[in-house]
Structure 1
Amino acid sequence: MELTENYAVRGDRALGAGDEDKLGFREVAKRIATSLVDRASEDGLVVGLEGAWGSGKSSLLFLVGDELSKLPLATRPTVIHFRPWLIGNRDALITSLFTELSNQLDQVALAAGDATRISITKAKKAGKALRSFMSALSKAGEMVEVAGDVAGIGAVKYAGKGLKAAGGMAGTNAPPQLADLKDQLVTSLRELGHRFVVTIDDVDRLEPGEIMEILRLVRSVVDLPNVIYVLCYDSEVLAHSIQAAASVQNGRAFLEKIIQLTVMVPKPEAFQLRQWFAEALRQIGVAKDEDERERLREVIDHEGGRQLRTPRSVVRALDSIRFFWPPLREISADLADLVWLHLIKDGNPALYRWIEEYCGTAAALSLGTARVDEAEKSQQSAAVEAAAGEHVFDNDLYRHSFSAQLAGVTPNFSKSGPVFQLFERVDDRTRDEAIQSRRLASPDHYRLYFAMATPSHALRQSDFNALWDALATGPDQTATVLLSFQRQDVAGTLTKTDLMIERIKGGAYELLNAKQCRNLLMALANSMDEAYRLRPFDGFAFSSLWDRTLPLVGLLLARLKPAQRSIATRDMFAKGAAIGWLTFVFRHEIFAHGRFGDRSRHEGEWVLASELQLDDAIRITLSRYNAMTLKDIQQCPRPLSLLFAWQQAGDEEGPRRLLGAHSKSDEGLLQTLEGLTSQINSSDRGIFTVLSRQNIEPFLDYEDATRRVKALTKKAKLKEAATKIMTLIAEGKRY
Structure 2
Amino acid sequence: MVSTKHSGVAGDRPLGTGGEDELGFRDVARRIAQSLVDHASDKGLVIGIEGAWGSGKSSLLFLIEDELAKLPQAQRPSVINFRPWLVGNRDALLANIFASLSKEINLVALRAGDASGISKEKAKAAGEALRKFVSGLGNAGSAVELAGDAIAFAPLKWIGQGLRVAGSWAKGKSADPSLDVLKDRLVQSLRDLGHRFIITIDDVDRLEPAEVIEVLRLARSVADLPNVIYLLCYDCDILAHSVEQASRVQDGRAYLEKIVQLTVMVPQPEPFRLRQWFGDELRQFSSTRSEDELSRLRSVVDVEGGRQLRTPRSVVRALDSLRFFWPPIRDAGGDLADLVWVQLIKDSNPALYRWIEDYCATAAVLTLGTVRVDDAERAQQLKALHAAVAPEHFADHNYRYYFADPLPAASVDFAQDGNGFTLFQRVSDVERDAAITAGRLASPDHYRLYFALSGPSHALTHCDYDAFWAAADKSPDRVAAVLLQLYAIELTGSLSKADLLLERLGGVGDEMLTPNRCWNILAGFADVMDDAYRARPFDQGWIVSLWSRATALIARMVARLEPDPRAVLIRHIFGEGRALGWLTTLMRKETFAHGRYGNRAKPDSEWLFTNEELDEIFELMLERIRRLTIDELLTTVRPLDILFAWKQAGDEDGPREMLRRGIETDAGLIGVLEKMTTIHTSSDRGSYSVLSRGNLDAFLDFDDARQRIEALRIGNNALEVRAKALARAFRDDDGF
TM-score, structure 1 length as denominator?
Answer: 0.90
Q: 1:335 to 1:78 in 2, by over 3 A?
A: same
Conserved in 1, the CA contact under 8 Å of 2:363 and 2:409? yes
> Is 2:29 the partner of 1:29?
yes
Distance in 2, matches of 1:330 and 1:5, equals: 22
> Which residue is 2:392 aligned to?
391
What secondary structure is seen at the aligned counterpart in 2 of 1:494?
Answer: coil
Q: 1:318 to 1:591 in 2, by over 3 A?
A: farther
What residue identity is the alignment partner of 2:179?
A: L
Q: 1:641 to 1:429 in 2, by over 3 A?
A: farther
Distance in 2, matches of 1:567 and 1:152, equals: 103
Conserved in 2, the CA contact under 8 Å of 1:713 and 1:722? yes
What residue identity is the alignment partner of 1:451?
A: A
What secondary structure is seen at the aligned counterpart in 2 of 1:199?
Answer: strand
Conserved in 1, the CA contact under 8 Å of 2:333 and 2:438? yes
> Which residue is 2:490 aligned to?
489
Tell me the alpha carbon deviations over residues 31-68 of structure 1, each in whole angstroms, 9 at most, x when there is no partner. Answer: 22222222221111111111111111111111121222
Deviation of the 1:580 alpha carbon: 0.5
> Is 2:81 the partner of 1:81?
yes
Conserved in 2, the CA contact under 8 Å of 1:44 and 1:225? yes
Q: What number of residue pairs does the alignment pair up?
A: 724
Task: Please list, as runs of the form range in 1=range in 2, the aligned pairs for 1:353-364 lying within 5 A after superposition.
Answer: 353-364=354-365
Conserved in 2, the CA contact under 8 Å of 1:147 and 1:156? no
Tell me the alpha carbon deviations over residues 245-302 of structure 1, each in whole angstroms, 9 at most, x when there is no partner. Answer: 1111211111111111111112222222222212211112111101111111222222
Conserved in 2, the CA contact under 8 Å of 1:406 and 1:441? yes
Q: 1:621 to 1:345 in 2, by over 3 A?
A: same
Deviation of the 1:604 alpha carbon: 7.0
Tell me the alpha carbon deviations over residues 441-487 of structure 1, each in whole angstroms, 9 at most, x when there is no partner. Answer: 22222222222222333334444455455555543344334323333
Task: Please list, as runs of the form range in 1=range in 2, the aligned pairs for 1:309-328 lying within 5 A after superposition.
Answer: 309-328=310-329
Task: Please list, as runs of the form range in 1=range in 2, the aligned pairs for 1:631-646 lying within 5 A after superposition.
Answer: 631-646=631-646
Conserved in 2, the CA contact under 8 Å of 1:706 and 1:726? no
> Which residue is 1:425 aligned to?
426
Q: 1:389 to 1:80 in 2, by over 3 A?
A: same
What residue identity is the alignment partner of 1:639?
A: P
Tell me the alpha carbon deviations over residues 574-632 of structure 1, each in whole angstroms, 9 at most, x when there is no partner. Answer: 11111011122333334445555556557775544x55444432332232223334443
Gaps of 5+ in 2: none
Q: 1:13 to 1:720 in 2, by over 3 A?
A: closer
Conserved in 2, the CA contact under 8 Å of 1:155 and 1:221? no
Q: 1:45 to 1:614 in 2, by over 3 A?
A: farther
Conserved in 1, the CA contact under 8 Å of 2:494 and 2:538? no
> Which residue is 1:157 aligned to?
159
Distance in 2, matches of 1:391 and 1:590, equals: 62
Tell me the alpha carbon deviations over residues 220-254 of structure 1, each in whole angstroms, 9 at most, x when there is no partner. Answer: 01101111111111111111111111111211111
Deviation of the 1:548 alpha carbon: 1.8
Distance in 2, matches of 1:596 and 1:388, equals: 62
What secondary structure is seen at the aligned counterpart in 2 of 1:388?
Answer: coil
Q: 1:614 to 1:429 in 2, by over 3 A?
A: farther
> Which residue is 2:213 aligned to?
212
> Which residue is 2:691 aligned to?
691
Distance in 2, matches of 1:434 and 1:293, equals: 16
> Which residue is 1:502 aligned to?
503
Task: Please list, as runs of the form range in 1=range in 2, the aligned pairs for 1:402-481 lying within 5 A after superposition.
Answer: 402-416=403-417, 418-464=419-465, 466-467=467-468, 470-471=471-472, 474-481=475-482
Distance in 1, matches of 2:17 and 2:256, equals: 32
Distance in 1, matches of 2:285 and 2:721, equals: 75
Worse-matched range after superposition: 517-526 or 45-54: 517-526
Conserved in 1, the CA contact under 8 Å of 2:674 and 2:726? yes
Distance in 1, matches of 2:709 and 2:89, equals: 100
> Which residue is 2:106 aligned to?
106
What secondary structure is seen at the aligned counterpart in 2 of 1:254?
Answer: helix
Q: 1:154 to 1:162 in 2, by over 3 A?
A: closer
What residue identity is the alignment partner of 1:405?
A: P
Conserved in 2, the CA contact under 8 Å of 1:690 and 1:729? yes
> Which residue is 1:341 aligned to?
342
> Which residue is 1:284 aligned to?
285
What secondary structure is seen at the aligned counterpart in 2 of 1:64?
Answer: helix
What residue identity is the alignment partner of 1:680?
A: H
> Which residue is 2:178 aligned to?
177
Distance in 2, matches of 1:132 and 1:478, equals: 91
Distance in 2, matches of 1:459 and 1:622, equals: 39
Deviation of the 1:668 alpha carbon: 5.5
What residue identity is the alignment partner of 1:542?
A: I
Task: Please list, as runs of the form range in 1=range in 2, the aligned pairs for 1:647-726 lying within 5 A after superposition.
Answer: 647-659=647-659, 662=662, 672-700=672-700, 705-706=702-703, 709-710=706-707, 713-714=710-711, 717=715, 725=726
Distance in 2, matches of 1:524 and 1:50, equals: 71
Distance in 2, matches of 1:568 and 1:101, equals: 93
> Is 2:572 the partner of 1:571?
yes
Distance in 2, matches of 1:511 and 1:723, equals: 54
Q: 1:227 to 1:385 in 2, by over 3 A?
A: same
Distance in 2, matches of 1:260 and 1:343, equals: 39
What residue identity is the alignment partner of 2:484?
A: L
Worse-matched range after superposition: 429-438 or 330-339: 429-438
> Is 2:245 the partner of 1:244?
yes
> Which residue is 2:331 aligned to?
330
Q: 1:604 to 1:260 in 2, by over 3 A?
A: farther
> Which residue is 1:116 aligned to?
116
What secondary structure is seen at the aligned counterpart in 1 of 2:16?
Answer: coil
Distance in 2, matches of 1:555 and 1:315, equals: 51
Deviation of the 1:664 alpha carbon: 6.6
Q: 1:144 to 1:46 in 2, by over 3 A?
A: farther
> Which residue is 1:191 aligned to?
192
What secondary structure is seen at the aligned counterpart in 2 of 1:48?
Answer: strand
Q: 1:338 to 1:594 in 2, by over 3 A?
A: farther
Worse-matched range after superposition: 67-76 or 512-521: 512-521
Conserved in 2, the CA contact under 8 Å of 1:148 and 1:154? no
What residue identity is the alignment partner of 1:46?
A: V
Q: 1:580 to 1:80 in 2, by over 3 A?
A: same
> Is 2:250 the partner of 1:253?
no
Distance in 1, matches of 2:169 and 2:522, equals: 98
Deviation of the 1:536 alpha carbon: 0.9
What secondary structure is seen at the aligned counterpart in 1 of 2:71?
Answer: coil
> Which residue is 2:531 aligned to?
530
Task: Please list, as runs of the form range in 1=range in 2, the aligned pairs for 1:141-156 lying within 5 A after superposition.
Answer: 141-144=141-144, 155=157
Worse-matched range after superposition: 714-723 or 176-185: 714-723
Conserved in 2, the CA contact under 8 Å of 1:712 and 1:719? no
Conserved in 2, the CA contact under 8 Å of 1:44 and 1:223? yes
Conserved in 1, the CA contact under 8 Å of 2:23 and 2:273? yes
Deviation of the 1:570 alpha carbon: 1.5
Worse-matched range after superposition: 113-122 or 79-88: 113-122
Deviation of the 1:97 alpha carbon: 1.2
Q: 1:387 to 1:520 in 2, by over 3 A?
A: same
> Is 2:56 the partner of 1:59?
no
Worse-matched range after superposition: 658-667 or 100-109: 658-667
> Which residue is 1:132 aligned to?
132
Distance in 2, matches of 1:459 and 1:61, equals: 52
Tell me the alpha carbon deviations over residues 697-728 of structure 1, each in whole angstroms, 9 at most, x when there is no partner. Answer: 4445xxx5325634763565588767755654
> Which residue is 2:94 aligned to?
94
Distance in 1, matches of 2:115 and 2:158, equals: 37
Tell me the alpha carbon deviations over residues 356-402 of structure 1, each in whole angstroms, 9 at most, x when there is no partner. Answer: 23333333333345454544443333222212332322332233222
Q: 1:729 to 1:374 in 2, by over 3 A?
A: farther
> Which residue is 1:586 aligned to?
587
What secondary structure is seen at the aligned counterpart in 1 of 2:97?
Answer: helix
Deviation of the 1:431 alpha carbon: 2.3
Distance in 2, matches of 1:83 and 1:106, equals: 21
What secondary structure is seen at the aligned counterpart in 1 of 2:178?
Answer: helix
What secondary structure is seen at the aligned counterpart in 1 of 2:17?
Answer: coil
Distance in 1, matches of 2:281 and 2:694, equals: 73
Distance in 2, matches of 1:117 and 1:600, equals: 110
